[in-house]
Every structure is written in structure tokens, then in C-alpha cells.
Amino acid sequence: MKSDSLHFEDSPEVTRGSFKIALIRKNYTPYGGAENYLRLVAKGLKAEGYEIHVFSRDIYQNNDFIIHKINSPNKPSFLSNIFFAVNSRNALKKESFDCVLSFERIPFQDIYSVRKKALSKLSNGVYRAGDGCHREWLNKRKLIEPFFKNLSFFINPHHLTLLYLEKQCFLNSRIIIANSIMVKNDIIKHYNIPEDKIHVIYNGVDLNRFHPVSREESRNVKSSLGIKEDRVILFAGSDFKRKGLITLLRATSLLDMKDKRLIVVGKGNISYYLKKAKELRTDKHVTFWGSEKEIERLYGIADIFVLPTIYDPFSNATLEAMASGLPVVTTAYNGASELIEDRIQGFIVNDPLDAKTFANRISTTLNNAGEMGRNARIKAENFSIEKAVDEIIKMFKRII
């Protein structure tokens, strides 16, 4: 397995070691696509010589960055979000930063930078809308939630708080980074934000960590993991309902699963979905893996990555799978689908609930997995984490 170390070319537009940057993310753990992306961005900025401060509620051992613990209760969720927003703002005001990049909905208003003894306002810094547009997500949830559940969104304090924070964040941030055109369009549609205020920077992937493996290496890993089937369908997501796992289970029930195995990676209500798999008589072909820190091992043994997501601003797992040489079948509601061309790197399904179409696209992709997988890797090579970080660095440079 190749090293996951990152290398950045020196850029004449960037002065090394000239920035002190604050990154904000409420949940900063080893798991989760957004959290992992923050870690990679922070690591890339650190490689450029910049001083990185991470403000988070969660603390785990990391010697690369200066981590500030922000207190907020676990529950109820709406109070947790309010306390984190307020306490983050207070913590930021105790120090001076050249730029603040928030991965969280925070309506901070008074962020200043001290440069050469001169005080200048940063106009609220930069917000990266990695979690997408919550108002659009609530609209998409109508596809999978009963009528009365949808009505509850209008009185639920959790959603009301997120919508308030989201609106303030979009209005007050100097620059908004959207990780897909889909998210940019959603923000404009719901909040009437000027188009030139929103910049699309696609997520980046560590091309050294995620890469195709040889058939021999794949067979060896399969053997070590106890996977006997010849073909492996991979699903990865931390929210089974939003990621559309039920659609995938229904699709597998329509497929000939002889010598095939579906591996489900991530956290979720496993007992519920195992029951559904049994009802669909496909449980013998499904493995619920749980969380996996070394997910590259599973990309290495898979033949295809499938994500029937209801709403995903930009699925990091999709790009990781492509970089690993896997074709992808996903929905048009996944921002990462903007990197996929039908029949070239995989397929895009317009209806996330259409199990029959998913079954058909999975079958076709498995029959052409080699060629589509090679195309997927070629496309992913245009979206390295180095390129994404370089775009963010250049944006910081223009702001300051």
C-alpha cells in the first residue's frame, strides 16, 4: 500500500509561512467524509508552512495542528449548535488570524486580522458549504419521509436553528465555497445570494492513498478479510437513510447475487436494514461492516461503488472510489455526479428510489467494470487534494 503523505509544489503566487489560519468544524473525528476532508486540507496547508488552528468540540490526538476545544452540549441538538456557534466566535476573538475558514454554519461577525500592527476586518472570513444547503435537504427528505414527519420540520427547533444559522452564514460570509455546482445553485435558489459570491471548488482526493491495486493484491486482501465471492459491490456512508441504502438493498434483490457480495460500510441502524435485507431475501449476500478507518482496503477488493443518495453535496467516498479505480453508480442528487459521464466512469440515476434502474445500471457496470474503472481513475486524477488546497490557498491570498 502506498504512503498517504502529501506533496505540494511550490507556487510563485504563494508566500510560504505567511498565514495563520483557523479552521472550524464542530465534529472533528477520524471518521466521516467532511471531517476527513478538513484533515487533508489542514495537512496540505501545514505542508505549505502555515500555522493551522482547528476549533472543534471533539479532541483526539493530533500533533500537526493546534486544536482548540469548543464546549457545547451533546443534546439537545439545537442547543448544541447554538452553543458551538457562540463559543467558537468568542474563542476566535481571543486571537488574531489571517483568515478563518469555517466548515460549520456559524454567523460570526467580528473576525479581525492583525498584520504589521494594523487592525483590519476580515469581513467574516470564508464559509465552505461542505454540508450543502439544509433547506434543500429538507425538500429532498419529502421523498422518503411521511407527510406528518415533513410537517414537523417547520416546528422542530433543530431544523429551525440550522436554517437560521445557515441564512446568517450565507448572508454574512465574505466568500462561500461550494463543493459542487448543485450546491451553488441550491444556495442561489433558496437564499438569493449573488452568484459571484459563491465559488465552486470540488473536493480533492489523496491520489497516493486511494489508487488501483493489482488483482493479486486484491485477492490477498479478500482472503485475509474472509470474502469468498468473486464480485464485490461496495456502499459507504454514515447515514444509511440519506445515502439510500434501502434502494440498494431492493436493487440487489432484483439481481442475480450468485458469487456477489454487497459490503455496507458506515454507521447506521444495522438491525433495521438487516431486517429489511431478510424481508427482501438478500441478507445472505450482505455484510454490514461498520466503520472502517482503512477504507482503502475495501475499495481495493470492490468491483463497483454504489451510492443511491437522496442528497449529498459532494460524496468524498465517490471520489475516493473513482481514484481507487472503481466505476460508480449514484444519483443526480450527489454533487460528485458532476464528475461522472454515463457509461464512461459509471452511471447517474435521476430517481434515487428507482431500484429497478439501479439494478440494471449495476449489472451493466459490473460487465464493464475494468474499462469504466480505468476511466474513473483518469477522471479522479484531475481532482487531487493538492489541487483543491492550492485553490483554497490562492483564495486566501486574494482575500488578504
pLDDT tens for each residue of 63-112: 678 889 999 998 899 999 999 999 988 888 888 888 888 889 987 644 44
Q: Give 115's strand partners.
A: 118
Distance of CA 385 to the CA centre of its chain: 13
Q: Cβ contacts of residue 341 below 8 Å, gap of 6+?
A: none
- Report the sign of the C-alpha dihedral through residues 188, 192, 194, 198, in that order: negative
DSSP symbol at 336: G
Residue 386 · residue 203 · CB < 8 Å: no
Cell numbers for 174, please give them.
Answer: 465574505
Q: Give 127's strand partners.
A: 102, 176
CA distances from 67 to 131, 136, 323, 356, 389 (A): 22, 32, 30, 47, 20
First to last CA, the chain: 40
Cell numbers for 107, please give them.
Answer: 454567523
CA distances from 216 to 154, 221, 300, 301 (A): 54, 9, 11, 10
Cell numbers for 196, please give them.
Answer: 459571484
- Report the sign of the C-alpha dihedral through residues 14, 18, 22, 27, in that order: positive
Parallel, antiparallel or unpaired: strands 231-236 and 51-56: unpaired
pTM greater than the 0.85 cutoff: yes
**pLDDT per position as a tens digit, 3-36:** 333 443 443 344 444 578 888 988 876 555 567 6
Q: How confident is the model at residue 1 (pLDDT cuts 50, 70, 90)?
A: very low
**pLDDT per position as a tens digit, 269-286:** 999 999 999 999 999 999
Cell numbers for 324, please give them.
Answer: 481507487
**pLDDT per position as a tens digit, 180-229:** 999 999 999 999 999 999 999 999 999 999 999 999 999 999 999 999 99
DSSP symbol at 236: E
pLDDT for residue 309 = 98
pLDDT for residue 112 = 45
Cell numbers for 281, please give them.
Answer: 431475501
Q: For residue 38, how many other CB atoms are within 10 A of its CB?
A: 24
**Which residue matches cell numbers 443534546?**
75
Domains, the chain, in order of start with CATH, read 20-204+384-399 (3.40.50.2000), 215-380 (3.40.50.2000)
